[in-house]
Amino acid sequence: MIKRTAEVVLAVIGMLFGLVTLVGFTAIGFIIDSAASTKEGVASFTRSYYQSLEESGISASDVPSAKQILDMVHTYAILALIATIVFTVLLVIGLICITGNKKPVLAGFMFLIAGIIVTIGGFVVAGFVPGLLLVIAAILSFVRKPKDPFLA
């Protein structure tokens, strides 16, 4: 029997960092979306958006409109929420499979997919650390094999 402490620790730390990243992005997206759900919020955002463009010297025709930006934020908030749910489910399944060395290969695939999800969902920069931890846990799950008692 091989102990899987390293995989469990890396997966739990990756899960905590990943949840902070994904829940944070989801919350920010929904906060912006709810603030812009009123006419005053949309008008305020549009005014400050075009004012910032003017101060930066960027032409309004070169960038998306304020409405398009708000639509993108709304879409991202929903996608980040879905990514958070899928990420959590995959990690829970992976942790259940790795404890007791039941199905380490399945756990490795769950960790790998969760690492990819958090890296993409966290805009690569914020999701890099949890993604890296989960990929390392996946590699350990794939590579570490129990010792053959006949060769010892």
- Element housing 84 (H / E): helix 66-98
Q: Ramachandran region of residue 144, left (φ > 0), alpha (ψ -120 to 50) or beta?
A: beta
**What gap in Å lies between CA 142 and CA 136, rounded to an integer?**
10
**What gap in Å lies between CA 29 and CA 57, rounded to an integer?**
27
**What gap in Å lies between CA 2 and CA 146, rounded to an integer?**
5
pTM: 0.84
One digit per residue, the tens of pLDDT, for the chain of length 152 reads 678 899 999 999 999 999 999 999 999 999 988 888 888 988 998 999 999 989 988 888 889 988 899 999 999 999 999 999 999 999 999 999 998 888 999 999 999 999 999 999 888 788 899 999 999 999 999 998 877 777 75
Which tokens belong to 47? 């005014």
Residues 6+ away with beta carbon under 8 Å from 19? 84, 87, 88
